[in-house]
Amino acid sequence: MTTARTPLAAESGTFSLGDDLSVHRLGFGAMRLTGPGIWGPPPDRREALAVLRRAVALGINLIDTADSYGPFVSEELIAEALYPYPAGVVIATKGGFQRPGPNQWVPDGQPDHLRAAVEGSLKRLRLERIDVYQLHTPDPHVPYEDSVGALVELQRAGKIRHIGLSNVTTAQLAQGRQMAPIVSVQNRYNLTDQAAKDVLEVCTRDDLGFLPWFPLATGELARGGGPLDQIARRHQTGGAQIALAWLLNRSPVMLPIPGTSTVRHLEENVAAASIRLTREEMEQLNTASGQETTSLP
């Protein structure tokens, strides 16, 4: 497999979150730097810290995390590894879940919870202001405008620079944008799950960053001899890296944030930024995944 030999630099292109945060389009998701079930510390703390430092050394300057990863562990590791943060590094974190235990996620969009979550993230990340703070999920028991409203208040107080939304519908995105400028959306999106295509279309149209979570999923497309396997062999890489290259080609606002707990896998993922898929290869993957076009308008 190919590995990254040079810094990411401009290979993935750049994108502006708001009008002041320029990031390389391939970021890093820090969820996997925790224990099993996204709970507790990582099995190898030294390797987790090395992954974060290597990511920045390779040119990644968008690090995505959440207070619920661990909980708290991911944010603490980021600060331990990277503080004081190099110029240009953008930390995006999220709040809106309670974590009763491993693999357990309970929405909590109460304004009081979100205010406490922001204060906790500021302390753990050693920041005075969070670059991008995302509402992790709508809470069905809390009016959506109350949850977003709490973040708007925190933004006015100078504790949040930009607001992002996660796991939203187009209607929820529109509602949030009526209350404040929204710079990004983080929804599940990959070769095998494109249910959020309508949200991506809005983001593409309006130049909002789209951070696809679970970006490496390939499902049945990864079977030997299939289009994904054939294309990966042609580029002398793995199916996961082709899946990332496909995402980067899918829309100019796409900001994949693949996560890993090893430096080796990190370097393989970064190498995906240099893969140039042909129009024919994009059409093959789109057809295999049930899509009809090579890119969004």
pLDDT-based confidence at residue 11 (cuts at 50, 70, 90):
low
Q: What percent of the chain has pLDDT over 70?
A: 94
Find out whether the peptide bond into 84 is cis, omega within 30 degrees of 0.
yes
Q: At 72, list the tokens.
A: 């708290």
Q: What percent of the chain has pLDDT over 90?
A: 89
| CA diameter of the chain | 55
Handedness of CA 225, 27, 35, 81 (dihedral sign): positive
Is residue 69 annotated as a catalytic residue, yes or no?
yes
**Number of domain units in the chain:** 1
> Which residue of the set 69, 133, 144, 189 is catalytic?
69
Q: Is residue 280 part of a domain?
A: no
Helices (H), 128-207: 144-156, 170-179, 197-206
Q: Is residue 245 part of a domain?
A: no
pLDDT-based confidence at residue 297 (cuts at 50, 70, 90):
very low
Q: Let me know: does 172 contact 144? Beta carbons within 8 Å.
A: yes
Q: What is the CATH number of the domain that holds 120?
A: 3.20.20.100
Least confidently predicted of 54-68, 172-186, 214-228: 214-228
Which residue type does 286 have?
N
What tens digit of pLDDT does each residue of 91-117 get?
999 999 999 999 999 999 999 999 999
> What pLDDT was estimated at residue 5?
41
Q: How many whole angstroms separate alpha carbon 251 and alpha carbon 297?
A: 8
Q: Is residue 238 part of a domain?
A: no
> What pLDDT was estimated at residue 186?
98
Q: Is residue 124 part of a domain?
A: yes
Q: How many whole angstroms separate alpha carbon 61 and alpha carbon 86?
A: 9
Q: Is residue 206 part of a domain?
A: yes
pLDDT-based confidence at residue 291 (cuts at 50, 70, 90):
low
| Domain containing residue 90 | 14-217+252-261
pTM of the prediction?
0.94
